[in-house]
Amino acid sequence: MSVDESNNVKTRLQVHNCVVQPLLTDLYQITMAYAYWKSEKTSDTAVFDLFFRQNPFQGEFTIFGGLEECLRFLENFSYSDSDIEYLKTALPPTIEQSFFGYLKELTAKDVKLYAIDEGSVVFPRVPLIRVEGPLIVVQLLETTLLTLVNFSSLMATNAARYRMAAGDNVSLLEFGLRRAQGPDGGLSASKYAYIGGFDGTSNLLAGKMFNIPVKGTHAHAYITSFSNPSELKTKTLINLNNGKEQDLIDLTLSWRTTLSNLLHISESQASDGELAALVSFAIAFPEGFVALIDTYDVNKSGILNFCAVALALNDLGYKAIGVRIDSGDLAYLSNKSRETFIKVANEYNIPWFANLTIIASNDINEETIWSLNDQKHSIDCFGIGTHLVTCQRQPALGCVYKLVEVNGTPRIKLSQDGSKITMPGKKDAFRLYGADGINIQDSIFL
């Protein structure tokens, strides 16, 4: 894609981070630019390849991310007056003043960027992006393009691995903002988890900026903030069957007594504070009631209180959504919860009750999901945070940006480390498919 020919890019791309600008780079990019300028190489052209050498997580593939942000960076590439003033203080006083005038006029209008589609499966050594243009300009792009692609691709790949582990029939929600490496890390993680196959995020800003579905329930703090039903100021809910207000607490308490016999759970062991919290939340969100049930004890309190509230809502014409379990043996507790839902559904002839959603969270990683699969869990949705957004198994992808051509002449970097020897010259990458539509290999042609 030629930046100056992409007239609609500016309107399509969503601003992500205002710090993505020309000064988001390494000092040596500017010192090289000055040395190039001093050597009168302002008319030289160059080609750079951006690629990686190994798939992350000891895996067999990578998902390419970050292209949209790269395009926005190129579209807006220019040095502001304050940038120039700062560079005058950061660079040696021997720098000729006319160089700063040259920088002030630089844009990426003569840069052409060729790239694989964002979200594609990609492999080592194949250029993700080929950048062509004036030598000084395309050199100045290096660090910024790398920082935009490295984490994005790593994050999307990590998310795709979670999707493969969970399978197609389980929902995945990204819950990692509070554990991410700063606000930008959290925002990027939400965006690229979605690209990598997640179904939604808890991050409201990511939802607003990138149109990602947002999901969430409530915290343990909400449950522990209540002591008993008597403290509730709002106790009633409109009955959708007759339009009249009805006391949800009374209905719930009646159902809890009935269910305690059916489920063989002592009503005296169930937390009244938890019941009050769930009733309060159900009144606030009667058509989207999802409850956290592990604050005290899932089997002795949480599941009983939830079912009582859910059945009370059902009497008033509402359908609860499900539960979230955030601690304990997730396979065992999910199976016990599913057994309970099925038992209640059969007992009271409420078929949908058997299929209530069970969400699991609690520091879940890829290995956890594979283990839960082996244990035949009953989880419908995973909420995943820390291990997803921090990419704990591998903190960096290792993309590089290498010069492969100057003024039409191929260039090569040699090294005693064979993996660091570059492939010279301008290249085109092609993906070859068999007659069955399955890709066979990627090929690079000079």
Task: For residue range 348-384, list pLDDT tens digits in order.
Answer: 999 999 999 999 999 999 999 999 999 999 999 999 9
Report which DSSP code applies to 351: G
Note whether 47 and 102 are same-domain residues.
yes
Residue 419: pLDDT band with limits 50, 70, 90: confident
277 lies in a domain?
A: yes
Any long-range contacts for 416-419 (C-beta under 8 Å, 24+ apart)? 419/53
Number of structural domains found in the chain: 2
d(CA 29, CA 39): 15
d(CA 401, CA 420): 12
Report which DSSP code applies to 360: E
In this predicted model, what pLDDT tens digit does every residue of 88-100 receive, in sequence order?
999 999 999 999 9
Note whether 99 and 224 are same-domain residues.
no
Q: How many CB atoms lie within 10 A of CB 414?
A: 9
Note whether 360 and 403 are same-domain residues.
no
209 lies in a domain?
A: no
For 32, counting Cβ atoms within 10 Å of its Cβ (0-12 exposed, 13-18 middle, 19+ buried), the class is middle
Residue 330: pLDDT band with limits 50, 70, 90: very high
The mean pLDDT value of the chain amounts to 95
In this predicted model, what pLDDT tens digit does every residue of 244-303 receive, in sequence order?
999 999 999 999 999 999 999 999 999 999 999 999 999 999 999 999 999 999 999 999
Kindly list the distances between the CA atom of residue 229 and the CA atoms of 75, 239, 297, in Å, as whole numbers in the listed order. 58, 20, 19
Note whether 368 and 407 are same-domain residues.
no
19 lies in a domain?
A: yes
In this predicted model, what pLDDT tens digit does every residue of 120-145 receive, in sequence order?
999 999 999 999 999 999 999 999 99
187 lies in a domain?
A: no
Kindly list the distances between the CA atom of residue 135 and the CA atoms of 29, 44, 420, in Å, as whole numbers in the listed order. 12, 6, 22
Task: Check residue 131 and give its pLDDT.
Answer: 98
| HSE of 302, CA atoms in CB hemisphere, 13 A | 25
Angle between the N-to-C axes of helices 142-166 and 182-195, in degrees from 0 to 180, rounded to the nearest 10: 50
Task: Check residue 1 and give its pLDDT.
Answer: 45
Note whether 350 and 407 are same-domain residues.
no
Note whether 425 and 353 are same-domain residues.
no
Note whether 235 and 355 are same-domain residues.
yes
Residue 7: pLDDT band with limits 50, 70, 90: very low
**131 sits in which H/E element:** strand 129-134
SS3 382: strand
Task: Check residue 16 and give its pLDDT.
Answer: 58
For residues 60-72, give the mean pLDDT: 97
Whichever domain contains 423, its CATH number is: 3.20.140.10
Is residue 312 predicted with pLDDT exceeding 90?
Answer: yes
Question: What domain range includes position 70?
Answer: 9-160+396-445
Tokens representing 220? Answer: 């343990």
Note whether 408 and 325 are same-domain residues.
no
Looking at this protein, which amino acid is placed at residue 432? L
Q: What percent of the chain has pLDDT over 90?
A: 94
Note whether 342 and 406 are same-domain residues.
no
Note whether 155 and 132 are same-domain residues.
yes
Task: Check residue 10 and give its pLDDT.
Answer: 41
d(CA 107, CA 348): 70
Task: Check residue 11 and give its pLDDT.
Answer: 41
Residue 19: pLDDT band with limits 50, 70, 90: confident
299 lies in a domain?
A: yes
d(CA 246, CA 115): 60
Task: Check residue 337 and give its pLDDT.
Answer: 98
Task: Check residue 8 and give its pLDDT.
Answer: 46
d(CA 181, CA 389): 8
390 lies in a domain?
A: no
Task: Check residue 15 and give its pLDDT.
Answer: 52
Note whether 408 and 362 are same-domain residues.
no
Whichever domain contains 348, its CATH number is: 3.20.20.70
200 lies in a domain?
A: no
Task: Check residue 324 and give its pLDDT.
Answer: 98
User: Is-contact 305 293, C-beta < 8 A?
Assistant: yes
232 lies in a domain?
A: yes
Q: What is the DSSP string of 311-340?
A: HHHHHTT----EEEE-SS-HHHHHHHHHHH
Is residue 9 predicted with pLDDT exceeding 70?
Answer: no
For residues 305-326, give the mean pLDDT: 98
Report which DSSP code applies to 2: B
User: Is-contact 263 341, C-beta < 8 A?
Assistant: no
End-to-end CA distance of the chain: 19
Residue 13: pLDDT band with limits 50, 70, 90: very low
Task: Check residue 18 and give its pLDDT.
Answer: 79
What's this model's pTM, rounded to 2 decimal places? Answer: 0.93
